[in-house]
Structure 1
Amino acid sequence: MSALTIVMYHYIRDLARSRYPGLKALTVKAFEGQLDYIIQHYRVCAVQDVVAARRGERRLPPNACLLTFDDGFLDHFTTALPRLLDRGLPASFYPPAVPVEGGRVLDTHKIHFILAACPDRAKLARQLLDMIEGWRGDVALPPTDALWRQHAVGSRFDGPEVVFVKRVLQRGLPTDVRSVLTQRLFEEFVGVDVRAFAQELYMDLEQLRCLRRLGMDVGGHGAEHVWLDALDRRAQDAEISRTLAFLARVHGGVPVDWVMCYPFGSYDETTLELLRSRGCALGLTTRAAVAPDLGRPLELPRLDTNDLPTSATAEPGAWTVEALRGGHG
């Protein structure tokens, strides 16, 4: 069995001429260079190829690669799609239902643009702590020092202040509190009407259908883009049902051999059980690794775009070398 490298993309845009040059995004030039690097070192597959390989109907090519685009951004249609088509590359796209159909900006994306519009991340973290203090008379909240110790921990790509802002506003506070705080910060730092912003940020239903007509796959990324492992069984089942109903509107019927891309990479055994019962073929995580085989099809690891070079002339990176060894580091 060939190793499978799955690469995930989010924002792709001309940052220098963007209203939000501080956004953590891949530039167009870097995206083009990375696609050319991938062509040089990998064999790009379609989702259907991976599903067929899982069933034993065919073998994946040596150094197989799957390209995945999360969150349903308009960037993917206007910027990524033409460059994929120019190179004859298949890809799969994973939009959450609510922003596409409801005209809402997800809180997690509001957070990204708050951070982009406020370059002083330490100041932003302090402001958030002050705002949290203002809620203590109304809501039971963890002590400030406990919040900081738990959430201000650097990650692979972000420093502790950025991780603190993200984690506290994503899941570290009660839902009502964090939604209000996120909206207030969005109004202060971004200051754009939410509905208008959503139209600029996300693809619409017809664009998703167009992706399919052009040979791309569209899979599930939840309805509300929530942490699935924080939900009980009933809530997870409802979220998956909404995801499938949305995909049926995109596909023009109940999808077969569909793919679930876990929001935030979050899932648990309940998620896996529910997905198996709904005919889900593959599940995509955010665990950074090359899949040595397809033995755990609902828990496939992915690399971030930052894990691969962005030039066709670059020497093979560490992850590429690992893939050539069959995914065994």
Structure 2
Amino acid sequence: MKSLAGRAASVLDRCGLLAALEAADRRKDRVRVIAYHRIDEADAEPDLDPGLISATPGDFREQLEVIARHYAAVSLDDLMAAHRGLRPLPLRAVLLTFDDGYTDFESRAWPILREVGLPAVLFVPTAFPDSPESGFWWDRLHSALRRTQEREITDPLLGRLPLDDPSSRRAAHRMIRSRAKALPHDEAMAWLEDLVARLADVPRRGHVLGWDTLRKLAKEGLSVCSHGHRHALCTRLSPHDLALDLSTSRARIQAELGDASPHPVFAYPASGSDGAVREAVRRAGYEVAFGGRRGIDRIPFVEPLDVMRMPVHRYGTALFRAQLRPSVSRLGRALVDGRLRRSA
């Protein structure tokens, strides 16, 4: 489907329709919040899950150049001021956000952002900086499946999973991820560690930026915000554990960044939220939170604790540009919603 959408977007780009739609867009009450994870080459870090790569450095540069030419990249300060009614956003406003705080943000994304001259927000799970043994579980799972000599694995929650070839291992990764996200957080982490240990000996390596680096980036203009403490799916934590995770993360950001602490803004890990979670986020003192709904949002936010974002999944430049148009964004959201209903 993405391939077909990319070809259609290329046709719209070549015939000038995207440029015409952009030029005709005179509204200041919309913001496109773009969500990235990793910026890297697919084979740069074999032990990291390549599914988290949003764009290669080359594609990322092209995407930023599209924004610089046709849109107005805004800072978190600009966004919050507009939400509070203090000043309007510019035409075709875009906020660039990055989740998880992988080290390739500093080495790959940030130099290009500075060169093109665009601001950004980085959401960091605060238990991970300066914790070299705190690797993300999906990366450890990917590494275990890549390294294992097992031809299959049998588990009470999964049954028998063949591991004969790369295709079957990717399918196993998807099934295990899906099952893990359905379990309470602590139970899921224990189950995953047992699976990883049965598959292969995976070194514990941290791939999240440390606090010294985060402070340096904040002084250079980056907004560093909360992505939870343990990167736990909020809907899989008890009310007590959720409140503790939220408050710990906010306090850690404030303690580590000091005067560079940004606005009380949050991004839900893995986009997991519901009404109870959003109420807990409000009680924890967050003013705005970015959720899992896909699309272009309006300012001031109607649902400030469930702001829409637009995730990037290795899009070509034309498809990336098309996604920034409201009509295309609505179509994309409808397709995603339909896919979720069919899989339910």
Q: Do both share a fold (TM > 0.5)?
A: yes
Q: Could you say which structure has the greater relative contact order, defined with CA pairs below 8 angstroms and 6 or more residues apart?
A: 1
- Comparing 164-173 with 258-267, greater Cα deviation is found at 164-173
Q: CA deviation at 1:54?
A: 0.6
- Which letter maps to 2:307? L
1:9 to 32, 36, 45: 36
- Which letter maps to 2:105? H
| Residue in structure 2 matched with residue 306 of structure 1 by the alignment | 313
User: What is the aligned-residue RMSD (CA, Å)?
Assistant: 3.4
Alignment of 1:32 with 2:36, yes or no, is no
Q: CA deviation at 1:253?
A: 5.7
1:172-187 equivalences in 2 (<5 Å): 172=183, 175-176=186-187, 178-182=189-193, 184-185=195-196
Alignment of 1:295 with 2:302, yes or no, is yes
Counterparts in 2 of 1:187 and 1:28: CA distance versus 1, 3 Å? farther
Query: Percent identical across equivalent pairs?
Result: 22
1:166-205 equivalences in 2 (<5 Å): 166-172=177-183, 175-176=186-187, 178-182=189-193, 184-185=195-196, 188=199, 191-194=201-204, 197-198=205-206, 201-205=207-211
- Asked if the contact 1:43/1:65 (under 8 Å) is kept, the reply is yes
Q: CA deviation at 1:38?
A: 2.3
Q: Distance in 1 between matches of 2:238 and 2:191?
A: 24
1:165 to 171, 176, 187: 176
1:1-329 equivalences in 2 (<5 Å): 1-20=28-47, 23-24=50-51, 25=53, 26-103=55-132, 104-114=134-144, 117=146, 127=153, 130=154, 132-133=155-156, 144=159, 161-172=172-183, 175-176=186-187, 178-182=189-193, 184-185=195-196, 188=199, 191-194=201-204, 197-198=205-206, 201-252=207-258, 255=261, 257-293=263-299, 294-306=301-313, 309-311=315-317, 314=318, 317-322=321-326
> When you count strand as a share of all residues, which structure comes out higher?
2
Q: CA deviation at 1:70?
A: 0.6
Counterparts in 2 of 1:90 and 1:187: CA distance versus 1, 3 Å? farther
- Asked if the contact 1:3/1:63 (under 8 Å) is kept, the reply is yes
Q: CA deviation at 1:16?
A: 4.1
- Which letter maps to 2:35? M
| Residue in structure 2 matched with residue 155 of structure 1 by the alignment | none
Counterparts in 2 of 1:90 and 1:54: CA distance versus 1, 3 Å? same
Q: Distance in 2 between matches of 1:2 and 1:31?
A: 26
- Which letter maps to 1:214? E
Q: Distance in 1 between matches of 2:67 and 2:141?
A: 31
- Which letter maps to 1:99? F
- Which letter maps to 1:165? I
Q: Distance in 2 between matches of 1:325 and 1:223?
A: 31
Counterparts in 2 of 1:182 and 1:40: CA distance versus 1, 3 Å? farther
Q: Which runs of 4+ in 1 moved over 6 A?
A: 323-329
Structure 2: tracts of 5 or more residues without a match = 1-27, 162-169, 335-344
- Asked if the contact 1:256/1:279 (under 8 Å) is kept, the reply is no
Counterparts in 2 of 1:207 and 1:323: CA distance versus 1, 3 Å? farther
Note the alpha carbon deviations across 1:150-202, whole angstroms, 9 max, x for none: xxxxxxxxx8654312122344478446534445437845x4420xx21xx11
Tell me the secondary structure at the aligned position of residue 109 of structure 1.
helix
- Asked if the contact 1:229/1:267 (under 8 Å) is kept, the reply is yes
TM-score w.r.t. length of structure 2: 0.74
- Asked if the contact 1:8/1:304 (under 8 Å) is kept, the reply is yes
Alignment size in residue pairs = 294
Counterparts in 2 of 1:21 and 1:207: CA distance versus 1, 3 Å? closer
- Which letter maps to 1:300? V
Tell me the secondary structure at the aligned position of residue 8 of structure 1.
strand
| Residue in structure 2 matched with residue 136 of structure 1 by the alignment | none
Counterparts in 2 of 1:298 and 1:324: CA distance versus 1, 3 Å? same
Structure 1: tracts of 5 or more residues without a match = 134-140, 149-158
